[in-house]
Chains A and B, each alone.
Chain A
Amino acid sequence: MGIIIGVIIAVVIILMIVLYNNMLKKKNRVKTAFSGLDTMLKKRYDLMPNLVAMVQKYVAHESDILTRITKLRARAQSAKNIDESVKINKELDDAIKQLNISVEGYPDLKSSQNYLQMQAALNDVEEQISAARRTYNANVETYNTYIGMVPLNIVALIFGFKPYEQFTATEVERENKIWINQ
């Protein structure tokens, strides 16, 4: 009887170790994907001051949006964890999209060569962010599904594996297709 209980305990321990390793592997892939996304986001943060400075000259009446972008950029750069970063970046996306809509009302700015070049550069960065987001979301989905399945959810609870939040389309993205890259 003692041997049987010992074998059962050993099997359970081995199973726990295997499951823990799998969860950790998946979690690390989420983290790697996020660091990829973070690099792309940093590229965008670096573009923000230029964008704000360029637009400011033309759209004096839109200072609300510009201020919001600046504020969000500062907050995003100092985000403490992935979820916070995801949340702030969603807001930043909305703000940039709103700015883009506002620019529609300023033909001088819209036709400015510098602005067009900046828009193209932003577009490319957005595309890279979009790719990084898709990678992040795919990995988060795999991880969340894995730790959500019964009985893996119990193991996840024991070891403190929590689900991650995915990047989803923002309200502005849903309403208009502008700036949604690919």
Chain B
Amino acid sequence: MKSIFKSEEDFNQFFDRVYYNVISEYYEGYKNRRKNIIISKVIFGVILSIFFVIITNVIELNKYTGGHVWLVNFFVVAAIFACIIASIYSEIKNDMIKKNDHTIKDILAFISDVSKEQIEYEPNKMVSRSSLNEAGLFNLDRVEYNGKNFTKVPYYKNTMVFSDMCTYVYKIDETQKEIYKNGKKYIRTIKTKKKKFLFDGIYIGATMNKKSKNQIYLIPNNTSDKFIQSKIRNYINFRGYDIVLENAEFSKKYKVFCDDEIQARYILSMSLMERINKVDDIIKGKKYIVFKEGKRFTMCIEGLSIEKIKRNALPTFPNKEKERKVLLKIFNELNNLLKIYHILDLGNDLYTKYNVDDFISTAGVQSAVKIDRAQAEKIATISFKAKE
């Protein structure tokens, strides 16, 4: 399979040749807004400081401070300007984070070798309920969920979908408090509604070229999430197996649930188990993996999100090396996500290109190699007889 891996070196070249100019143009366009933010906030700070100094004179603060009013003024004005600087920094940083909506699209287009228009990235959208239901991991009847940063990337003849998502339940805590009114003791029950997060991470969807006829769930061995497990447990109790596979490292990390043991071992071949172990080396965090009927592959990784990647903001003022460093970090994190496709060899087209059944000659069916069963049997028998 032709590798379209992009290395850090490739990205550095891309940055030097093309992307640095794009970022410079952005800074150029942003110059006026940055100037306006700085000027407006500094003017506000100066006005506030003057106002404060006037107030101290009006209320004759000097009398109460033993002639040290200048010291009070100095500290208050310093505090005002510290706040102003923090506010400027925060506003510019937010603008830079917003800029990452475009940066992420650009870098994904670079990694996947497609045009920017082909990348679908919607910061306020999440993966559909039907897709989540299809994955069968989350008990959506019992849990609430939300998410953002829906990303769809065409990648090596396939498509990968990413979306930040979290599932949670509302837990009601009851506390009792004793109160006394008119000499009498009352007990008041206070109910507080608390959000309990069950899963907070990223959803990754892709197609796998190896066709599975059944469904296989890989759940981290150390998971204590009853909500995720309850649905799988229910399903397993009725018609499934909990199997232990040959790879010790893999078995230590994952519990495997399936409804057909042979199919599970067909999909989870020795090499795929090793590849899943490799993904664990690159991306940390609990992983929930599902292989569904057909070619659907879903991986949910806890603790990872596009939002976190987006938080790597460009520097406030143009600085080529700092820009490179930030963008390289974003590139590496996105590249690792897309690398999952390669590491797991999801695009191995051996299984889709050739259909086994085409070669099994059955009565009335002409084989793909244009040798029918009778002819083949005849040749084989002749050969056998000749030897006899």
Question: Which residues in A have some Cβ–Cβ distance to B below 8 Å?
Answer: 33, 36-37, 40, 43, 46-50, 52-54, 56, 63-64, 66-67, 70-71, 73-74, 114, 117-118, 120-125, 127-128, 130-132, 134-135, 138, 181-182
Contacts and interface: CB of A to CB of B under 8 A. Distances in A.
Given A122-B359, A135-B261, 8 more contacts: A49-B361, A67-B383, A70-B381, A121-B358, A121-B359, A127-B266, A128-B266, A132-B266
Given A127-B266, A131-B263, A52 B360 contact: no
A49 B356 contact: no
Interface stretch (B98-106, B267-275, B303-311, B318-326): B267-275
A99 B360 CA distance: 19
Contacts of B384: 67, 70-71, 74
Given A46-B361, A131-B263, A63 B356 contact: no
Given A70-B380, A135-B265, A64 B369 contact: no
Given A67-B383, A131-B263, A134-B265, A182 B272 contact: yes
Q: In this complex, which of A46, A50, A122, A132 has the most chain B Cβ atoms within 10 angstroms of its Cβ?
A: A50
A181 B271 CA distance: 9
A123 B348 CA distance: 13
A63 B379 CA distance: 11
A53 B376 contact: yes
B367 interface: yes
A173 to B, nearest CB: 13
B387 A182 contact: no
Nearest to A124: B356
A117 B361 contact: no
B355 interface: yes
Contact of A121 (B262, B266, B355, B386): B355
Contacts of A134: 246, 265
Nearest to A137: B246
B381 A131 contact: no
Contacts of A46: 360-362
Instruction: Give the interface centre of A114, A117, A123, A134 by most chain B CB atoms within 10 Å.
Output: A134
Nearest to B353: A120
Contact of B386 (A63, A124, A127, A132): A63
A117 B379 CA distance: 20
A59 to B, nearest CB: 11
Nearest to A123: B350
A182 B381 CA distance: 33
A117 B269 contact: no
Given A63-B387, A66-B380, A121-B359, A54 B371 contact: yes
B351 A124 contact: yes
Nearest to B270: A182
B377 interface: yes
Nearest to B361: A50
A88 B377 CA distance: 20
A70 B383 contact: yes
B354 A121 contact: yes
A58 B353 CA distance: 25
Given A67-B383, A67-B387, A131 B262 contact: yes
Given A49-B376, A49-B380, A117 B386 contact: no
Contact of B359 (A50, A52, A128, A181): A50
A121 B351 CA distance: 8
B373 interface: yes
Determine which residue in B262, B270, B362, B375 has the highest number of CB atoms from chain A within 10 A of its CB, and name it: B262
Contacts of A54: 369, 371
Contact of A120 (B354, B367, B373): B354
Contacts of A33: 261-262
Interface in B328-362: 350-351, 353-356, 358-362
A151 B380 CA distance: 51
A170 to B, nearest CB: 17
A46 B362 CA distance: 8
B43 to A, nearest CB: 69
30 contacts: A33-B262, A40-B262, A47-B356, A47-B360, A49-B361, A49-B373, A49-B377, A49-B380, A50-B359, A50-B361, A53-B376, A54-B371, A63-B383, A67-B384, A67-B386, A117-B354, A117-B359, A117-B369, A118-B359, A120-B353, A121-B354, A121-B356, A121-B358, A122-B359, A124-B354, A124-B356, A128-B262, A134-B246, A135-B261, A135-B262
